[in-house]
Structures are given as C-alpha cells and as structure tokens.
Amino acid sequence: MMKILLTGMLLLSSNALAYSSSFSGGVCDFDVKGGVRISSSEIEFLNKNEPLYKIVNDNILIVNNKEITLNTSQQKLVSSYSYEIRGLLPQIKTLTTDAITLASEGVNLAFTELLGPNNSLSNDLTSRFEEIHYEIDQNFSANKTVHFDEDGFVGDDFFGENFEKIIESVVEQTVQKSIGSIMIALGQELLFSNEGGASFEAKMEKFGEKIETEMEARGMEIEKRAVSVCSAIFKIDKLEEKLQSEIEQLEDIDMLSI
C-alpha cells in the first residue's frame, strides 16, 4: 500500500505537467487538433507539422506565406488571440510548479510523520523536486520556444516522455530508499522497544493515512488552480471562433475544440 500511495502522490505533479493535446477532467475538456509553436516573436499553427498560419509580433497575420490585410476589428481580434495564447503559458507554468511544490510538501509531511524531522529521505526528495522545478523554469523562460502537437510537447523539451522518465526515476528511487529507511526504523523498534514492533505498525498505518490525506488535499488545491487555466482556454476558443467568422482565410481552420 505504501508504494501505491507514494507513487500516486508523486504522480500528482506528473499529471499536472503532462500537458497534451487532450485534457479532460472535472474542470474542462478540450482538444488541440494540430500543432502550435510559440516563440518570442511568432505563434505558428501547424497541421501534421505543415504550417497553416502564423501571427507575428502579435499583430501581423500570415496565411500561406502571405500577409493578410486586416480591418480594425480583425486586427483587434488577432492581437487579442495572440495575447491570450501567450498569457496561457505562464499560467501553465504556475500550475505545474505549484503541483511540484504541493506534492513535495505532502510527501515530506508523511515521511516526517514516519521517520521524524530532518530525515535524509525527505531532504533528498526535496532536492530532486527542486531540480525539476528549475527545469520547468528553464523550459518556460521568455526566450524559450515552446512547441507541442497532437501528442504533446515536441523535441528535446523537458516534458513528454523525458519528463515521464524523470518522474518515474524519482518514484523508483524514493520507494527504494524509503523501504531501506523503514526497515532500519523497524529494526530499531524491535531492538529497543518493549512493544515488539506494535508501535511501528501503528506508525505505518498512520503514515498511510497521512499521505493519502495529503494527496487528496493537494489534489483539490491543484484543481482550484486549474480552473483559471481552463477559463483562459475557453476564452481562447471563443476568440478562435470569432477569427473564423470574421477572417475568410481562417474560416476552415479550427485548432481548438471544447
């Protein structure tokens, strides 16, 4: 049971970070039907890696390598669409870093309950989460190009399969180290306690309850934070619908569906 609970707690952060073309849950459900590449100067929309259109410097619309002449209303729509998409990235970053922080705090509280304060396992786990946090900061920096398609993030970015392997590694190492620490604690309990391990068994039960409680509480906190991300996605979808209705060259291009 301990391994399942621990794995679940750690994967709380993984699930929040594993942003893909399809996101569903109690908060929102949407599909991205193509790829999007976001750099400091451009937002490019693709279908099977073939360019459909792009927005340059938040106000220039280019379709089939041709700049489209826009009226005032259309120009405002294009700029708003670009701004909202760019504004989504820091929200995703905040959501994922919050998930990492909350997961780390939850697991550490549980291990402190079992092994006592300042145990090496909690310290090591905190260090690993800090490394992941740093990588997220680097990959969502202002000068970093973000590219994702129907399958999620593309290229050598920190996310996708690479990120999943990192989380799996943290889970496996933590489980292995926790088993060793728990066995040592059990041995000490058997040697120095008159209760013959009964006290340690009670601690283990409390440990399981603690980590499950912390998992649930932090899951609710992440869900609250996800509401703002979903609200931004709904707004982007509405703007896309307006772009389709007001700009002829985009009427058949539907990148986002909710």
Stretch (H or E) spanning 53:
strand 50-56
Tens-place pLDDT, residues 103-134: 777 777 777 776 777 777 777 777 877 887 88
- Of 102, 93, 103, residue with least CA distance to 229: 93
Most confident of 22-26, 38-42, 118-122, 142-146: 38-42
Query: For residue 52, what pLDDT is reported?
Result: 93
Query: For residue 166, what pLDDT is reported?
Result: 66
Average pLDDT value for the chain: 74
30 — phi, psi (to 5°)? -150, 160
Examine the pLDDT at 53 and tell me if it is beyond 80. Answer: yes
CB 225 within 8 A of CB 25: no
User: What is the four-CA torsion angle of 72, 78, 80, 84, rounded to 10 degrees?
Assistant: 180
Examine the pLDDT at 5 and tell me if it is beyond 50. Answer: no
What average pLDDT score do residues 123-146 get?
79
Residues 6+ away with beta carbon under 8 Å from 54: 42, 43, 44, 45, 61, 62
Question: pTM score, two decimals?
Answer: 0.70
Domain regions of the chain by residue span: 2-31+84-253
